[in-house]
Amino acid sequence: MIAPLNWRKSSYSDGDDGNDCVEIASSPSRVAVRDSKAPSDRTLDFPADAFAAFVNALKAT
Q: pLDDT tier at 54 (50, 70, 90 boundaries)?
A: very high
Q: Would you kindly state where each structural domain of the chain is located, as residue ranges?
A: 8-60
Q: What is the pLDDT of residue 1?
A: 47
Q: Report whether pLDDT(2) > 80.
A: no
Residue 60 to residue 52: CA distance in whole angstroms: 12
Q: Report whether pLDDT(53) > 90.
A: yes
Q: Report whether pLDDT(5) > 70.
A: no
The per-residue pLDDT for range 6-48, each reduced to its tens digit, is: 888 877 666 666 566 888 998 889 999 998 888 889 999 999 9
Beta-sheet strand order (sheet of 8-9): 8-9, 22-26, 30-35, 44-47
